[in-house]
Amino acid sequence: MKKNIVNILMTELNYSEHVANVTADDLLNINPQLQPALQSWLDTRTVTDIQVHGFSIKQLMEQRKYTFPSALISIDWLLTEPEIAKKELSEEIRR
């Protein structure tokens, strides 16, 4: 499964090999309630919009230009460390 995820991230989203591997590990360890959304995306690239603590996947993708995997990992972060994640995700993006 990891190899498949890494391949998708590299070929379709232009992730580097290192970032694809780290991201794949994160995705394989997400909260069980997020796994159906991940599986749907892996199967058909369907974006399932999930909202947690005032943030949603589509919002993160539109406002922060996150890829679906990055937005899903952020939602997972909001579930595991809500106070830290809310603070970080609420801040302006620094470039």
Confidence (pTM): 0.91
* 22-23-25 Cα angle (round to 5): 65
So what's the pLDDT on residue 95?
A: 44
Average pLDDT over residues 70-74: 97
Give the distance, in angstroms, between the CA of residue 84 and the centroid of all CA atoms in the same chain: 17
Place of tokens 């995997």: 69
Q: How many domains does the chain have?
A: 1
Q: Is residue 95 part of a domain?
A: no
Q: Which domain holds residue 85?
A: 2-90
So what's the pLDDT on residue 91?
A: 79
Query: For 21-66, what is each residue's pLDDT tens digit?
Result: 999 999 999 999 999 999 999 999 999 999 999 999 999 999 999 9
Q: Between 24 and 94, where is the model more confident?
A: 24
